[in-house]
Amino acid sequence: MRRTTTRLKMDEALPLRQAQEALSFIKSATKKTRLMPRLDSSETALNYVENMLSDVKRARQILTVGSQLELMPLQSDSTEKFAPALPENLVIECKFKEGSIVVHLYFLKFRRGVKSSGGILDAFKKDTAAGHMLVHNGRLAEVKQELVFQAPLGSMASDLDSLDQAASLLIDVVGQLHAFDSM
């Protein structure tokens, strides 16, 4: 059996959702190694190893898919847990890059009556006065302000806990943004 090593490219960012999904499979595999059943038959041993390896393979598949480069707004279906709903003009992007968690907050100003067709968007990209433009929920928006937070993760042993803490921290940041937005 040939040994396979999977590594993330140092310059590749990994979205938080993707990292959390891989983390859940890694935790499941490590839990199975600690709770080893009594191996009284070859079939039991084979099932045990297959179950553990399936979690490792799933984590590896998630990590080798590559990162998603588009913005992932909190108004998407997977973030319905945020209540009250976030302001429409706020987009949060969370990624892991070079051993750090990186959070981008984008405050947007929507362009009225402008469709997101390629030609119009390209024209805005060339206009230096227009600022950074992006398409958000099918509408053309100008990035009015961008805030970037970056925090290094600790050693590999503490990275699993750090990932959970980072997710909790992001939920706290969202709560603070709600408080700030309501002022």
H or E segment and range at residue 164 = helix 156-181
- Confirm if 147 and 95 have CB atoms less than 8 A apart: no
pLDDT along the chain (183 residues), means of 10: 47 66 82 81 83 83 60 42 63 71 77 55 49 68 78 55 60 57 46
pTM over 0.85: no
